[in-house]
Amino acid sequence: VTATAWELAVLPEPVGTPSRPAAQQAEVVVHGPLGDRYRLLRLVAPHVAATCAPGQFVMLTAARDGEHAPVLPRPMAVYRTDRDAGTIEVCYGVVGRGTRRLASFRVGESMLVVGPLGRGFRIDRTWRSVLLVGRGIGTCSLTTVAQELDGSGVAVTTVSSARRPEALIGGSVYRAHGARAVHEVTDIDGTSAPAALHDLLVADLDAEPPAAILTCGSHRLVRLSEQLAQHWPGTDVQVSVEAHMACGLGYCHGCSSGVVGGMAEDPLVCRDGPVFGWRPRADRP
Amino acid sequence: VEELSAVPEGAPPDLSVRLGRLTLANPVMPASGCFGPELAPLLDTAGLGAVVTKTVFSARRAGNPADRLTDTEYGMLNSVGIPSPGTAAFRDTLLPAYRELGAPLVVSIGGLAVEEYWTVADELRDSGAAAFEINVSCPNLEHGGLTIGTSPEMIAKVVAGVRDRVDVPLWVKLTPMLHGIEVVARAARDAGADALTVSNSFPALGVDVAGRRSVLGAGGGGLSGPAVRPLALRLVRDVAAAVEVPVIGCGGVCTATDAAAFLIAGASAVQVGTATFTRPDTMTSIVDGLAALCRELGVARASDLVGTLDQERS
């Protein structure tokens, strides 16, 4: 079996009524560094906090009220929600025009938030065990899974991967929400290498393999998840995909996932994802 | 100089505009491709002058390879490539959703060859559209698009063929990339266009220096957003001066003031594209803002602004 025999696949629609997106002017209540590589932004966004499912995302407009650029809002995974306080958190790295502008927002200012958007991870509270594997900022798509499963009885094992220890994120959230194990691995000490991680996770989970592996942030970790799913037959793989977006809703077709479905235009990362299955390729004519 | 209408005390300004035989409640509508029924929860769609669909082709077609769009300074570069479900799926799924939005529906029609435009018109004859907008100007199609859009003869052929097939008002969306936009504007009018949309996005390129390649998967793309507004205003003025059919301005409209600038330059209505990505309710804000702006400018009717650019300085 070769790695190229696996591909992204659209998952069935989540069970239940889909949350409707709303646009809200959200006050910034916390904004500062997270590790040495990312920034954490906490916003008052009660609609998103109340209705966002793990793995869904929001669009943040970096243009201030009265400004018209940057023209495109930035898609951001929801890192943590607090329904009681009506707040959400997102994390981002400052990499370009939009995130530089986002970084300039001060506590007390407001920014436009649209969400929740997309289809999140398909989580089953009857699972005995789940494995979350994230790298870099991709970890932010996974933390709300641990939050959702806190107290459910599902054993949550997590991997946070980063170049350096100072860039690791997510560990404190996972621990706060009762993860049974938090593996923090880095390039510096070699623990993030797929072969090393494979051995670590097999040793940790062979006694009770996870029902699902949920991953985000690295193609190498998708391939690792695939190898682990082959090692543990019956284990499902779901991957959250990143893409450039304009609308976040599906009408602009800016984020066609391309590889899925061959020549057909569907599916879109924003509307049909960002969470897809990662499956052995179905035979197609 | 034509007298402006007197402003009755306290009466709300009349925002309605006439586009030939079609009257819209206000001059604000989306640009094709920058709107869909998915936006219904996020703005007052029934309060728009019209809604405009993404361009529909006869056959289902995929769009261009990723990356399809990116932010640029004061604008956006895109090469989405107009994916379309085809007319059959459009009628089954999208059309009913568009018709629920409560505003007059303008269906944008496309083709890779002259005859496909005619086929789409035939296939959508009973779609209930208040108008068809014929898109002869997409910069991101492998054929058609600019080839048709830069040729007065081909535009005339497309428009005349659609005119023969359907009775609805026809708008023709022009490309900005012309030595003399007046020539194609006249060709479209002579072939039966009821209004002209000026214009589509501007062919453009973004370069990823580290990778020494285009930032978009298809290579080039179209530039839109506030960066192109002065370019579009100039084209609107030129077309409005050259032909008597109504002009619909399109290019970087973000605010009611921008919309008023297009009206003053000669447009009878405006389309809003990129700014809806920035804020989904931009068009609603423009409609509300136009009423306030009319009061401020002392005009009772938004249409009183149309074509009022000071000729001595224009």
- pLDDT computed for residue B138 by the predictor: 80
Rounded to an integer, the average pLDDT of B20-47 is 97
Rounded to an integer, the average pLDDT of B76-100 is 95
A-chain CB neighbours of B36 within 8 Å are 247, 249-252
Q: Is the pLDDT of residue B63 over 80?
A: yes
pLDDT digits (tens, 9 = 90+) for B197-238: 999 999 999 999 999 999 999 999 999 999 999 999 999 999
pLDDT digits (tens, 9 = 90+) for B163-179: 999 999 999 999 998 88
pTM of the model: 0.95
A106 vs B: CB within 8 A: no
pLDDT averaged per 10 residues in sequence order, chain A, 285 residues = 73 88 97 95 98 97 96 97 98 94 98 97 96 97 98 97 96 97 97 97 97 97 97 97 95 81 72 95 63
- pLDDT computed for residue A135 by the predictor: 97
> Contact, B105 vs B53, CB < 8 A?
yes
Task: Give the whole-angstrom CA distance, residue A48 versus residue A117.
Answer: 9
How far does the CA of residue A263 sit from the closest CA of chain B (Å)?
A: 6
- pLDDT computed for residue A259 by the predictor: 58
- pLDDT computed for residue B1 by the predictor: 43
Across chain B, mean pLDDT equals 93
pLDDT digits (tens, 9 = 90+) for B113-128: 999 999 999 999 999 9
CB atoms A71 and B225 under 8 Å: yes
Active site residue B138: yes
pLDDT-derived band at B276, boundaries 50, 70, 90: very high
- pLDDT computed for residue A16 by the predictor: 84
- pLDDT computed for residue B6 by the predictor: 57
In terms of Cα–Cα distance, which of A15, A92, A80 is closest to A49?
Answer: A80
Instruction: Spot the catalytic one: B34, B138, B250, B294.
Output: B138
> Contact, A219 vs A133, CB < 8 A?
no
Task: Give the whole-angstrom CA distance, residue B85 versus residue B108.
Answer: 13
CB atoms B73 and A96 under 8 Å: no
Rounded to an integer, the average pLDDT of B40-68 is 95
Q: Mutate which of A51, A71, A110, A255 to test chain B, going by most B C-beta atoms within 10 A? A: A71
Higher pLDDT, B122 or B4: B122
Burial (0-12, 13-18, 19+ Cβ within 10 Å), B179 = exposed
Question: Which among A71, A258, A265 has the least Cβ separation from residue B278?
Answer: A71
pLDDT digits (tens, 9 = 90+) for B67-80: 999 999 999 999 99
Task: Give the whole-angstrom CA distance, residue A37 versus residue B174.
Answer: 46
> Contact, B129 vs B107, CB < 8 A?
yes
- pLDDT computed for residue B8 by the predictor: 58
Q: Mutate which of A251, A257, A270 to test chain B, going by most B C-beta atoms within 10 A? A: A251
Burial A171-194 (b: 16+ CB within 10 A, else e): bebbeebebeebbbbbeeeeebee
